[in-house]
């Protein structure tokens, strides 16, 4: 039953994003930023953790989870280092994910030959 709830929540998030893409003039990059910022705001308000416990991976896989990870990193760094933590906390918390995306993207660029439009 938990898998079904997780699946439905993730599907609802994706459906909401698709509606934004179809019904507004927002570009995909702006919608991605909106999702990351929403995750950070939900984490700040203390809503994200109960939502993630209820929804499971359906809430943690999309960009909402990345926004919450950034927020948690900033929060911990500010508690530990003060004001300078605002600037370093998000990088510290998300460094592994960002590094993996860059490394695997670089490897994929050697394996596949993109067909660029001219």
What pLDDT, on the 0 to 100 scale, is given for residue 118?
65
DSSP 8-state code for residue 114: -
Residue 107 predicted with pLDDT over 90: yes
Mean predicted lDDT score pLDDT of the chain:
86
C-alpha to C-alpha distance for 63 and 97, rounded to whole angstroms:
12
What pLDDT, on the 0 to 100 scale, is given for residue 91?
84
At residue 117 the predicted structure's pLDDT band, cuts being 50, 70 and 90, is low
Across 47-71, average pLDDT: 83
DSSP string, 39-104: HHHHHHTT-HHHHHHHHTHHHHSSHHHHHHHHHHHHHHHHHHHGGGHHHHHHHHHHHHHHHHHHHH
The two tokens of residue 63 are 């960009």
- Among residues 2, 17, 1, 13, the alpha carbon closest in space to that of 56 is found at 2
What pLDDT, on the 0 to 100 scale, is given for residue 1?
61
C-alpha to C-alpha distance for 107 and 100, rounded to whole angstroms:
10
């Amino acid at each position: 039953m938990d898998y079904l709830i997780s699946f439905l929540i993730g599907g609802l998030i994706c459906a909401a994003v698709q509606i934004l893409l179809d019904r507004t003039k927002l570009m995909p990059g702006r919608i991605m930023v909106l999702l990351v910022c929403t995750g950070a705001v939900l984490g700040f308000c203390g809503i994200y953790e109960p939502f993630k416990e209820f929804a499971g991976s359906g809430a943690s896989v999309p960009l909402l989870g990345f926004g919450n990870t950034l927020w948690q990193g900033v929060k911990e760094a500010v508690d530990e280092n003060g004001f300078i933590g605002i600037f370093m906390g998000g990088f510290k918390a998300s460094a592994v994910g960002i590094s993996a995306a860059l490394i695997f993207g670089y490897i994929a660029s050697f394996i596949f030959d993109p067909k660029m439009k001219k």
